[in-house]
Amino acid sequence: MLETLYVKDFAIVEHAEIHFGEGLTVVTGETGAGKSLLVDALLLLAGSRGDSGLVRHGCDRAELSARFAIDGREDLLAWLRAEELDDDSACELRRVIRSEGSSRAWINGRPVALAQLKALGERLIEIHGQHEHQTLLDRAAQMDLLDAFGGHDDARRTVTGLAQDWRQRQARIAALTGGADHAERIDWLSHQLAELDRHALDGEAFAALEDDHRRLANAGQLVQGCAGLAERIDGDGEFALTRLLHRAQADAQRLAELDPRLGGVADLLDAARIQVEEAGDTLTRYQDALDLDPERLAEIEAQLTKLHELSRKHRRPMAELKPLSDELRNELDALRGAGDELERLRGESERIAADYERAAAALSQARAQAGDRLATAVTALMGELGMAGRFEVQLEPDGDGVPSAAGRERCELLVSTNPGQPPRACARSPPAASCRGSAWRSRSPRSVPTRPARWSSTRSIRASAARSPRSSARNCAGWRPAARCCA
């Protein structure tokens, strides 16, 4: 139930706050007084698109908010909990539209995307008017309405659960077969694995290959650099390190004979000489072992080229091709050993499909009976509302053969509002399609309530007629719509 509606700097409205009590609220006023702006505000709070033209002239932004009582609406409470927007049983919507065209939205004080606001608005608010789409005209909602009227909740849940179980088995079968022919998938995986096993390397081997390539590709620079370094360490020149250290160590030793405190300096220089000589020996051994094989370089470059091709083919870094081969091998092993599991899943799917057919057939029979009762009751109410015509519930087989959560048929409500006219779909009937005022479009919400929670028996339908605009104010007091404003 809509409890409060707050509007500020919206179109021509500077400030307005309306509190709604129980029962039917009627807003009246002269043309141009702004009655329809209340409906526009609710539409924006329900997720409709807004623009800067809705902001009052000279203002920075328009602010809209509404508070709803949703006690007993478990579907709304469950949605809020799932989106982590719940706040006990409160439901408060807020939206701000700025003069430059941007907008923001909140649900229970938490910022949300416009899509979330729209998803909640579709469950929370219904706008009945000459140009607004009604839930009553949606075929899925019509089926929900019929099931609620007939009390098919348990049967519908059974059918929905079996359809979901069947789809889960089918999805698992598709995953095991790769979505294609089982044998073709195995052949493809075998080919990819053979190629990866020939060329893919683990992380350590790939790093060693890169090191070898770097060394062989820069062999000339390494040879030249090592030769120059060896000359500086122990060459024939006067300033080679080993010669300089020999001289320095000898000088320090002579000075130490004059002052023993310099003995430590002589020892350090002797140790440095030994270290430099070992470095020279190590460099000599490296030069002797340096491999400058151009054929090996060509082999490594060819191997790296192949790894690069595989990397582009599988969209994986070259160092991750080996883990990819492990993944494909696991899938191949699973497919080769999936025969037993596939047989089990297919058997379960056949059993679930048979159970579904039985449950769906029972639901179809119950729907047919409930449709006859609903058509009779609504036709009688149309007469009480001064509408000479009849109402029918048409059930059409779905026909695709795939278990559906909605059952084996589709529902469509048909209406004839004038004598002699055949019933037509509510959405396509001439009165509903007219842009002028129409009895069906304005009175159908009273004769056919669109909230399934209101359906408990045929008595509910007759109670709706008692609450129609033809009734007195006393009758209107007992009606609590989710959100409806009659302007």
Per-residue pLDDT tens for 236-257?
777 788 888 888 888 888 888 8
Q: Which pLDDT band, with edges at 50, 70 and 90, does 135 fall under?
A: low
**Residue 130 to residues 127, 134, 441, 486: CA-CA distances in angstroms?**
10, 10, 7, 12
Looking at residues 85-93, what average pLDDT do you find? 85
Highest mean pLDDT among 51-60, 283-292, 463-472: 51-60
pLDDT at 453 over 70: no
State the Cα–Cα distance between residues 67 and 1, nearest whole angstrom. Answer: 9
Q: Which residue has the higher pLDDT, 136 or 394?
A: 394
- Which one has a higher pLDDT value, 466 or 49? 49
Residue 437 · residue 393 · CB < 8 Å = no
Q: Of all helices (H) and strands (E), which one includes residue 201?
A: none
- pLDDT given for residue 427 in this prediction: 60
- The whole-number pLDDT of residue 333 equals 80
Would you say residue 181 has pLDDT above 60? Answer: yes
Query: For 177-218, where are the alpha helices, taking DSSP H only?
Result: 182-199, 203-217
Q: What is the pLDDT of residues 248-283, one digit of tens each?
A: 888 888 888 888 888 888 889 888 888 888 888 888
Q: Which pLDDT score, from 0 to 100, does residue 161 have?
A: 94
36 vs 368, more confident = 368
234-239: which pairs have CB atoms within 8 A and are 24 or more residues apart? 234/276, 234/277, 234/280
pLDDT value at residue 287: 72
pLDDT above 70 for 468 = no
Residue 4 has pLDDT above 60, yes or no: yes
Q: Which of 165, 125, 145, 114 is nearest to 41 (CA)?
A: 125
Read off the pLDDT of residues 288-344 as tens digits, 9 standing for 90 and up.
Answer: 767 777 777 788 788 888 888 888 888 888 888 888 888 888 888 877 776 677 788
pLDDT score for 464: 40
- Flag the least confident range among 54-58, 129-133, 193-197, 455-459: 455-459
Q: How many degrees, rounded to 5, is the angle at CA 214 between CA 213 and CA 215?
A: 90
pLDDT in tens, 291-301: 777 777 788 78
pLDDT for residue 357: 93
Percent of the chain surpassing pLDDT 70: 83
pLDDT of residue 178: 61
Report whether pLDDT(70) > 50: yes
Q: Which residue has the higher pLDDT, 458 or 243?
A: 243
Mean pLDDT of 453-468: 41
pLDDT bracket for residue 32 (50, 70, 90): low
Whether pLDDT at 97 is above 90: yes
pLDDT at 429 over 60: no
Q: Quick one: pLDDT band at residue 371, thresholds 50, 70, 90?
A: very high
Instruction: Give how far Cα 266 sits from Cα of 18, 247, 275, Å.
Output: 100, 11, 14
What mean pLDDT do residues 54-60 have? Answer: 88
| Average pLDDT score over the chain | 79
Does residue 184 or residue 358 have the better pLDDT?
358
What is the C-alpha separation between 412 and 423, in angstroms, rounded?
A: 11
| Across 29-38, 118-127, 154-163, least confident range | 29-38
CB atoms within 10 A of CB 17: 10
What is the phi/psi pair of residue 240, to 5°?
-65, 145
Q: Measure Cα distances from 430 to 18, 129, 434, 435, 443 in Å.
A: 36, 15, 6, 10, 15
